[in-house]
């Protein structure tokens, strides 16, 4: 490698490491804020920081995976114990558990995490400890990031056709920490490998990731159609959100069975639908939280829907 190129590569690696360290510091400050100034910390988290993530997944899921503080914690203790190879069956089981965690935790925002900063802080600390522990047992990202992480299903769905080409910035070399479907190694193939052999036929809809993809647009819409409430509202929140998700899955399954659209296009369309629904609601909420005029919310909504449209157009091509 030429000296200049090597220097540039080393500088980029140092820059990513610095960004990862800053990510841990920001997360620590956020957790402190959730206990000491919950209203401000919750507003910043849910109305500014979280809405950025889906857009980065569309650009490239490797952007967030390079910065995610949980990923930093997951890889920090690598090598502490003898690394165990992740069996394919365990990877599938943990992946399904990650989907279940996502479906449980997101509606819980309405009656718990949107307003109870201390409880959210405790959950973040617990998940961080879990990522650390699993990182000590399994190599690289196998223990958490590539299996159990509840954000992984969304990263896989939105990361099918990244707009930006990017390399994995964390793994110096691939050790095949998971048998298949690594998002960092091949974003375009990860979701389809997770679906398995059925990805080339209408049977994709019956797999765990297929069910998730089919239900996800309705799941997102169902969340935004609910409102914050007390813990007693939990049953009604889950009923409404899961009802919308079920309706979404039924419609998608019918379209899949009748029209037999290529799975790769169906999955891309579902990702675009879910992202579009998300920003239709989240963009105005972000500008309102920042105290901007209502027109700013409409502009941001159009910009984000434009990004989703470009992503969808390239994906369908």
pTM: 0.94
In 3D space, the residue among 127, 124, 181 whose CA is nearest the CA of residue 157 turns out to be 181
What does DSSP assign to residue 115? T
In 3D space, the residue among 94, 206, 194 whose CA is nearest the CA of residue 148 turns out to be 94
* Structural contact between residues 315 and 160, judged by C-beta atoms closer than 8 angstroms: yes
Question: Distance between alpha carbon 197 and the CA centroid of its chain, in Å?
Answer: 24
Sign of the CA dihedral running 194, 74, 219, 184 = negative
Question: In the chain, which ranges are continuous DSSP H helix?
Answer: 3-36, 38-44, 50-59, 61-67, 69-75, 88-108, 117-137, 152-158, 187-195, 208-225, 234-259, 263-289, 294-316
- For 26-57, the pLDDT digits (tens) are 999 999 999 999 999 999 999 999 999 999 99
Of 79-88, 148-157, 244-253, which gets the smallest average pLDDT?
A: 79-88
Average pLDDT, the chain: 93
162 burial (CB, 10 Å; 0-12 / 13-18 / 19+) is buried
What does DSSP assign to residue 78? T
- For 247-264, the pLDDT digits (tens) are 999 999 999 999 999 999
pLDDT for residue 173: 84
pLDDT exceeds 50 at position 237: yes
């Amino acid at each position: 490698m030429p000296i200049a190129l090597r220097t540039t590569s080393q500088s980029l690696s140092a820059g990513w490491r610095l960004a990862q360290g800053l990510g841990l510091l920001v997360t620590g400050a956020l957790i402190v804020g959730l206990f000491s100034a919950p209203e401000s910390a919750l507003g910043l988290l849910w109305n500014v920081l979280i809405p950025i993530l889906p857009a980065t997944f569309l650009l490239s899921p490797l952007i967030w995976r390079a910065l995610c503080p949980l990923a930093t914690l997951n890889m920090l203790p690598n090598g502490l114990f003898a690394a165990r190879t992740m069996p394919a069956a365990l990877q599938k089981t943990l992946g399904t558990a990650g989907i279940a965690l996502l479906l449980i935790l997101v509606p819980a925002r309405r009656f718990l995490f949107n307003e109870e900063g201390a409880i959210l802080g405790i959950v973040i600390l617990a998940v961080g400890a879990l990522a650390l522990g699993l990182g000590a047992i399994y190599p690289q990202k196998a223990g958490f990031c590539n299996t159990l992480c509840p954000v992984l299903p969304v990263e896989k769905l939105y990361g099918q056709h990244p707009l930006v080409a990017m390399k994995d910035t964390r793994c110096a070399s691939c050790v095949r920490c998971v048998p298949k479907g690594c998002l960092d190694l091949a974003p375009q193939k990860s979701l389809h490998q997770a679906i398995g052999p059925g990805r080339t036929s209408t049977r994709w809809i019956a797999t765990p990731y297929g069910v998730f993809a089919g239900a996800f647009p309705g799941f997102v819409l169902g969340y935004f159609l609910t409102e914050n409430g007390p813990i007693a509202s939990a049953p009604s929140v889950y009923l409404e959100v899961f009802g919308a998700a079920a309706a979404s899955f039924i419609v998608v399954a019918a379209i899949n069975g009748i029209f037999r659209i290529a799975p790769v296009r169906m999955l891309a369309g579902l990702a675009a639908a879910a992202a579009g629904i998300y920003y239709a609601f989240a963009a105005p909420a972000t500008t309102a939280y920042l105290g901007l005029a209502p027109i700013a919310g409409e502009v941001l909504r159009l910009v984000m829907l434009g990004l989703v449209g470009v992503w969808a157009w390239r994906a369908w091509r």
